[in-house]
Structure 1
Amino acid sequence: MPIQPNGPLSYGMQLPIQSQSVIYAEPWEAAATPADLVRVARAADRAGFAYVAGCDHVAIPRRLAEGMSTVWYDPVATLSFLAGVTERVLLLSHVAVVGLRHPLITAKQYATLDHLSGGRLILGVGAGHVQEEFEAVGADFDGRGGVLDESIDALRAALGPEEYPEFAGERFAFSGLGQLPRPAQERVPVWVGGSSPAAVRRA
């Protein structure tokens, strides 16, 4: 995926191995190891890729497993692991299904990742599409678009510079609750993923 934030065109990649949908996974990935994932990330780092990305699914229902597979590494754990073995490449959640978690939980995880990586996080967010996944964790599938819209605002507050962030919305509200460490970046980039008209509007 090309990006052009400030200057020349640059490229990033969704990492192999960490998600293995039949749409894009190659046969060798089925037997790959964490060491192989490290080699790919380090190669991207050396080659000047702008970012490496990891996907987010909590659990895949049987009806979708044949196409999606059930191999979906946790993005926070995976990107944190790779932050420790790379030097400059940015770390993108591609995408975090933020409706599966309260914004303060998401903020805690990704603020820590940004802090530990020295400010290399790009928080990619999306609405999600697997109904059973939402139902299993007690999240609102039908209202996920509205949840995502509000979560983006809540995350901007929760990932800001304040030790005690404040937010008041229709679904989420918090104040007087401190979260350290703060992100290393003053403003964590938030990207919206998706192909629907609503995703384009959010972006």
Structure 2
Amino acid sequence: MNATRVSYGIQLPIQSQSTLYAEPWEAGAGPDDLVATARAADRAGFSYVASCDHVAIPRRLAPAMSTAWYDPVATLAYLAAATERVRLLSHVAVVGLRHPLLTAKQYATLDHLSGGRLLLGVGAGHVEEEFTALGVDFRHRGAVLDETIDALRAALGPEEFPEHHGKLYDFEGLGQLPRPAQERVPVWVGGSSPAAVRRAALKGDGWLPQGDPRDRLPQQIARIRRLREDAAIQGPFVYGAIAEPLYIGTPAWHVGRRTLTGSPEQLAESLRAYRAMGVDQIQVRFRSRGRSELIDQIAAFGADVGPHL
């Protein structure tokens, strides 16, 4: 990654509506609002737009998580046709829930149709009922993900007839076209547990943290670097961060005590601290009361904050 600049992307609203971060207006929003937001990010120079992955939410978790989780492949494909340059990130796809050939077929097609804009973010998952309903071993989901990443590396590679021989999956002599447009689809590994950080270091092209505060990031980044050095793994690696909620300007409403507010220069100065830690890309989220306010925030960030990162 660029040694002096940090890129920025956005987890899209509407497509996932956990009470931890969804704004009230998202409950009544629809496809037009999603497209408008993605196009605004595209125009504003955002590196990527991201979509989450849950198949089904159990009743016990629905009050907190909600059951509004759009399918990431369908969502990102829909938005690929509505945008021009912004990359398309699954943050994160719980790829262990599906056979890797099925996952490869979906995401290879997405990459092919979008002209090589896919970023494949993967994670182990945390909702046991999803795994049980789909017949996947929840207790050993880490091991499942480890092999799934290996199988996906093969299935998303350049070969029309990919080959993988593992404990869980075994395939060869099965052709899949179209191939991805990218020679190597970037795989970013999500999660902040010790196992997830190790997986990112040894199997990923990047790391997507989950909830790490600023003061914890340096030690996590240092651990990844050490693991990669010890394993003699070379090549580019993208260190990510999720920034605090943002609101550019002086809000006329209560945006929450954790939200960073102020002038573009003040916000840029605060966010540059991530670069000093070794972060390559930050994921941002804006507080908003509706689509127009969100789009205004995205545009202001792209015009007045982004150039100073």
Q: What's the TM-score once normalised by structure 2's chain length?
A: 0.64
**What is residue 31 of structure 1 aligned with on the other side?**
28
Residues 100-119 of structure 1: CA deviation (Å, up to 9, x unaligned): 10000000000000000000
Q: Point out where structure 1 has 5 or more consecutive residues left out of the alignment.
A: none
1:148 is aligned to 2:145: yes
CA distance in 2, matches of 1:141, 1:68: 19
CA distance in 1, matches of 2:68, 2:192: 23
**What is residue 198 of structure 1 aligned with on the other side?**
195
**What is residue 57 of structure 2 aligned with on the other side?**
60
Is 1:160–1:187's contact at 8 Å kept on the other side of the alignment? yes
Letter matched to residue 30 of structure 1 = A
Is 1:112–1:182's contact at 8 Å kept on the other side of the alignment? yes
Residues 121-151 of structure 1: CA deviation (Å, up to 9, x unaligned): 0000000000000001111111100000001
CA distance in 1, matches of 2:137, 2:43: 41
How many residues matched?
Answer: 199
1:103 is aligned to 2:100: yes
1:159 is aligned, of 142, 156, 160, to 156
CA distance in 2, matches of 1:34, 1:46: 18
Per-residue deviation at 1:6? 3.7
Corresponding residue SS for 2:61:
helix
**What is residue 81 of structure 1 aligned with on the other side?**
78
Output aligned runs, 1:11-50, within 5 Å. 11-50=8-47
Corresponding residue SS for 1:123:
strand
**What is residue 87 of structure 2 aligned with on the other side?**
90
* Structure of higher CA gyration radius: 2
Corresponding residue SS for 1:12:
strand
**What is residue 115 of structure 1 aligned with on the other side?**
112
CA distance in 2, matches of 1:137, 1:152: 19
Is 1:168–1:174's contact at 8 Å kept on the other side of the alignment? yes
Q: Point out where structure 2 has 5 or more consecutive residues left out of the alignment.
A: 201-309
**What is residue 175 of structure 2 aligned with on the other side?**
178
| Structure 1 segments (4+ residues) deviating >3 Å | none
Corresponding residue SS for 2:177:
coil
CA distance in 1, matches of 2:2, 2:49: 18
Corresponding residue SS for 1:62:
coil
Corresponding residue SS for 1:91:
strand
CA distance in 2, matches of 1:6, 1:148: 30
1:129 is aligned, of 126, 130, 135, to 126
Per-residue deviation at 1:77? 0.0
CA distance in 2, matches of 1:197, 1:13: 25
Residues 67-87 of structure 1: CA deviation (Å, up to 9, x unaligned): 000000000000000000000
Corresponding residue SS for 1:122:
strand
CA RMSD of the aligned region, Å?
0.7
CA distance in 1, matches of 2:149, 2:166: 11
Corresponding residue SS for 1:124:
strand
Per-residue deviation at 1:195? 1.6
Percent identity of equivalent pairs: 80
Q: What's the TM-score once normalised by structure 1's chain length?
A: 0.97
Letter matched to residue 112 of structure 1 = T
Letter matched to residue 126 of structure 2 = H
